[in-house]
A and B are shown apart, each in its own frame.
Chain A
Amino acid sequence: MQTKKIINDGNRAVDEMLEGILAAHPRHLRSADGSPRSIIARDGPRPGKVGLVIGGGSGHEPTFLGFVGKGLADAAAIGNVFASPPPDPILECAKAVSRGAGVLFMYGNYAGDVMNFDMAAEMAAMDDIEVRTVLTTDDVASAPRDQRQKRRGVAGNFFIFKAAGAACDLMLSLDEVERIARKANDHTFTMGVALSPCSLPQTRRPNFEIGADEMEIGMGIHGEPGIARGKLGTADVITDEMLDKIFAEMAPKRGDKVAVLVNSLGSTPLMELYIMNRRVRQRLDALGVSVHATWVGNYCTSLEMAGASVTLFHLDEKLQTMLDHPCDCAMFRAG
């Protein structure tokens, strides 16, 4: 049986969504001339500023294009559902935001994205645009600690992009922006849990099977299997399991500061996210770790998947400054 969706045509879903987004956010967003899948900030690119280009597959909204705007990303290249954009729209983003100070590509670490963004970077180099790349690898579940460079980028993108976008907005050099972006990635830790599958608009079939009383710990944001399947626990048990994995890596010390993101994978409601956040706060309080800021809601989704992720952004003075820097995007504002 096909899943229920409010769509017209599965093959047109991404383009029709983009039309709706541009209609809703004309003050923030436009598409590049002749390249409708290149979404550019109205107020962002300016002379001497490093251009920040993010991007990836659709189906994760508000990631990626929701984070395009002043103080955050200058452009997002949009792919099909769960599929990297091809090089052309990425290249058009780079051209649209390049103002002589270089361009930084940031995206989640997936084989397809790496190939397409690398091809776009080679093409940009032929146009004399200097491109650097920082991959996000915040998903603790996706590879052991000693293979951090193999991990996936998931909801923690939010903090990593935010820090890099602030560095760009402060007119720092490409070297310095890249350094801050890498540091932000190293300080970001995410764990997710999935309760039910999502379905692609083109197939409208659940993309994995899971028992009525089961959960998948560490599932990816495209429904990739995680590290273990278990019986569905209570909110506190699930949150503890996720935090234990994160704490094991982050090694928080009494007096440390973090920012928290409790993110819905799509259909898990705010009620459940806040119940999880209650536990997150209890655990951090018990460790003597203070919470500088908290975001709860849909930040990096997986279509209608049920489930949630918890991300901790381990702050120091520099990263806190970047996090507190104002931004004004179509789907996110701060400061």
Chain B
Amino acid sequence: MTINAADLKRMFDTIAVAIEADRDRLCQLDGVIGDADHGIAMELGFNAVRDALAPLDLATIEPTALLNMAAKSFLNAVGASSGPLYATAFMRAASAVKGKATLADADFIALFQAMAQGIKDRGKAEPGEKTMVDAWQPAAEAAAAANLAGKTLAESLAAALAAAERGAEATKDMIAAKGRSSRLGERSLGHMDPGAASAVTVIAAMTKSLD
């Protein structure tokens, strides 16, 4: 399939709806091992993106400009940890598709991988440290592998979602090594990382909107 700016805008709208519906669960997850505001930050961020993209002329704007606008609006609405992490993801996504008016399947896979890498770089986190990287990295790897194996974009994103879900689930057995919950030591065991949980929600919404 071919993805244009209108598709990307619809993707961000779908994420905003999904995060809004998930807000209280994310706050509750965060309340157990953090400061209970993760759902609020994510909701604020994606609502700001939706509002910033709403007036755009989708016929003329390129994906890169749209993604940079998403990054800036998310960052300035949120701050917190999720602000720099998702803003960096969108900025890297923007550079990954620079100069392209529309995106082919492989372009979107590159965009998706750039998002995961951006989150990893900004947070200086590695897999196994009980962060959103534990969902994003396996998701990006699964998407790239499926694409290489000749799967469609929808199939590749479905594989990414399944990997993200497994990754988030696995954070329950991890001791936090990064972020606010890292001071808890073993008391963080048994609880899903809220950043990994919201990553699944974001990836599920992306998958749904591009299906």
Contacts and interface: CB of A to CB of B under 8 A. Distances in A.
B132 to A, nearest CB: 12
Nearest to A77: B79
A220 B183 contact: yes
Given A79-B79, A200-B40, A111 B178 contact: yes
Contacts of A85: 79
B190 to A, nearest CB: 13
A256 B84 CA distance: 44
Interface string A42-69: 0000000000000001000000000000
Nearest to A10: B40
B19 interface: no
A83 B183 contact: no
A65 B12 CA distance: 35
Interface residues of A, number: 34
A221 B96 CA distance: 39
Interface residues on B, range: 20 to 34
Nearest to A147: B183
A81 interface: yes
Contacts of A116: 79-80, 83-84
A152 B27 contact: no
Given A207-B35, A225-B33, A119 B84 contact: yes
A150 interface: yes
Interface string A106-121: 0000111001100100
Given A87-B75, A222-B34, 16 more contacts: A57-B79, A79-B79, A80-B78, A82-B35, A83-B78, A111-B81, A111-B123, A115-B85, A142-B183, A150-B182, A202-B40, A205-B27, A205-B36, A208-B31, A222-B180, A223-B35
Interface of A: 11, 57, 79-88, 110-112, 115-116, 119, 142-143, 150-152, 200, 202-203, 205, 207-208, 220, 222-225
